[in-house]
Structure 1
Amino acid sequence: MSTTTITVTGMSCDACASAVRAELTSIPGVVDVDIDLSDGKVTIGSDSPVDDETLRNAVEEAGYELAN
């Protein structure tokens, strides 16, 4: 199991978190997504490491951005 933590900007409600969670869980191998709306931290559990570009694309598809 691999765990990755990213910070997503612009999320402010449960609907925002749901959109990001839906996109991230559609990535093959992702088994768990935990989102903390208070600071934008997203912890992703996966069968194997997921590359940064794949994570960025999923977050952007949901309408948000990764923090630098």
Structure 2
Amino acid sequence: MKMETVKQTVTVNGMSCNGCANHVQRAFETIPAVQSVDVSLDEKKASVVTNQAVKLKEFQEALAGTNYSVVTIL
């Protein structure tokens, strides 16, 4: 049986360098449903592929204690 994938794009505030983008990517990869993450520093967005929809709160919790914040899921 093939597993469904969900693509979500989230806006991320607070990123100013590639190190920031890498930090956000690693944080999102800790969310259990996440399969892959592609962070765009220029667009201030992260494209996330998951095996089920991830709620805004889960993205926010992954960045808790950092200088980054998720504002919306596009």
Fold shared by both chains (TM-score > 0.5): yes
Match of 1:27 among 18, 28, 31: 31
Amino acid at match of 1:4: Q
Q: Which residue of 1 aligns with 2:52?
A: 48
Moved more, 10-19 or 56-65: 56-65
Tell me, in whole angstroms, the C-alpha distance in 2 between the residues paired with 1:20 and 1:62.
Answer: 9
Task: Provide the aligned length of Structure 1 versus Structure 2.
Answer: 68
Aligned CA-pair RMSD:
1.4
- How far residue 60 of structure 1 moved from its aligned partner, in angstroms, is 3.2
Alignment of 1:1-68 (within 5 A): 1-67=5-71
Amino acid at match of 2:22: S
Which segments of 5 or more consecutive residues in structure 1 lack a partner in the other structure? none
- How far residue 52 of structure 1 moved from its aligned partner, in angstroms, is 1.1
Q: Which structure is larger by alpha-carbon Rg, 1 or 2? A: 2
- How far residue 56 of structure 1 moved from its aligned partner, in angstroms, is 1.1
Deviations 1:27-59 (A, max 9, x none): 102011011111201111001111110011113
Over the matched positions of the two proteins, sequence identity in percent amounts to: 29
Tell me, in whole angstroms, the C-alpha distance in 1 between the residues paired with 2:28 and 2:60.
Answer: 10
Amino acid at match of 1:18: N
Task: Give the conservation status (yes or no) of the 8 Å contact 1:20–1:62.
Answer: no
Could you tell me the TM-score, scaled by structure 1's length?
Answer: 0.87
